[in-house]
Amino acid sequence: MFLRSKLALITGLAVFSLSSQVAVADPAVAPFYQSIMQMKADGKLGQIIKQEKISTPVKGAQAWRIAYISSDVNNQKTIATGLVVAPTGVAPTGGRPVMSWSHGTTGSAQNCGPSQVENPAQPLNLYYLIGGNSWTDYGLPSLEQFIKEGYVVVATDYQGLGGGDRHQYAVAKTNGRDAINIIRAAGSMKETGAGKKAVVYGWSQGGGSTLGAAGQSEYISQTGTAFDGIDMVGFVAMAPQDLEMYRPAKLDQAGADKFINDFATGWSGNSFDFGHFIMNMWGTQAANPDKLKLTDIFTDEGAKAVDEIFLNKCIHVSIDTFNFAYSTSYKDLLRPQAQNTLAWTNAIIDGAPNPNVKPAAPVLVLYGNKDVTVPQVMGDYYRKRMCEIGANVARVQLPGDLNHFTTPGAAPPFYIPWIKDRLAGKPAANGCSAENVM
């Protein structure tokens, strides 16, 4: 009996070892997304290539899943998916303002888009909080209030989270373009009654997306899209990620080596942070497949494991897998000395919010004092840099002891009146004159 059990165990381990070497890309998604993943990214920016009406529990609202044309940091056309939620009834003259939500980290596999959960068109529901009721974050912050105010609310999944191709995680310019183009998509739908005025608001990865969108005035004003003439009146970034902060003083080989080393060291304190570091590298390589290889940063085993895990699992499940498989030895997946660091450094900086371009409209940065997930210094660094070139960026610490995940719930009393003022045409107070200016 012992021998039989031992043979069974050995056989089981052999099967596990063999199966662990097979990367299964494109995990199961609903039929709506299956068909999209077979489509080509042809069409105008913001052009809807598929839509379906879905239910929403929000009173006085109607909702749709959509797939639309976007483009990435390299100007390559992409397909992104997302949600559109609009008030019912006749729109006012001039149309309804559009609020574009950029979500936080959900993962990089095709089934990680928030629009894919059952009944997604509802208020924000965060995985980590006691009230969370799903394996992922989904929903749209302040949705009920915005619908009551008569706004259209949209939420991109970002490219690669249901629309095919690899997700360019934390490539702020790419993610920001997805947030811009879903405004165009909503504007092209007669059912929404959307007007030209718009705001982008986001958190965490989406905070970086918001800053990435803010610095793309030329992209916003581009013509020949599905809905030209967007009038961006403001950007709200909650706990934003901005990798530009790691830029070396001198962008040479020594500076690039330090950049990558500091980035890896700063995000390797625990497996949760390390999972986000991995996704940053994975997303940057996805945006630059001809210049970068995962084996530049990770060992051969590490690159293989990283690719398999993040192609098939969303963020929290991915980190569980790393904890199970590698426990405290997860740093061993990194090369002792990273290679091709200058190309990696340039790629990361190129995807970050542009340090030399004023935002297209005033920016409000909101953060919690106990946030250790996204370094608070990132928002401070962004504000100081933008203020130096004459932008208007306010940075406000929210009251109370707030961590990364409690920040979105505490932020609405600050950004809702700020947004109303921007839509009303009131000039924003000079956010560069003091630390906490509203």
Task: Judge whether residue 12 has pLDDT over 80.
Answer: no
Residue 343 neighbours by CB under 8 Å, 6+ apart: 288, 291, 292, 296
Domains along the sequence of the chain with CATH: 31-242+352-423 (3.40.50.1820), 245-350 (no CATH)
Q: Which of 17-21, 288-292, 307-311 has the lowest mean pLDDT?
A: 17-21
3 state SS of 392: coil
Name the percent of the chain lying above pLDDT 90.
82
Instruction: With residue 422 as reference, give the H or E element that holds it.
Output: helix 412-423
pLDDT interval class at 9 (50, 70, 90): very low
Query: How do residues 229-256 score in pLDDT, each as one tens digit?
Result: 999 999 999 999 998 888 888 999 999 9
Task: Judge whether residue 192 has pLDDT over 60.
Answer: yes
Query: How do residues 38-66 score in pLDDT, each as one tens digit?
Result: 999 999 999 999 999 999 999 999 999 99
Q: Which of 189-203, 265-279, 424-438 has the lowest mean pLDDT?
A: 424-438
Amino acid at 169: Y
Predicted pLDDT of residue 25: 55
pLDDT interval class at 15 (50, 70, 90): very low
Residue 182 neighbours by CB under 8 Å, 6+ apart: 46, 66, 68, 70, 80, 82, 84, 100, 154, 155, 156
Query: Average of pLDDT values for 184-196?
Result: 98
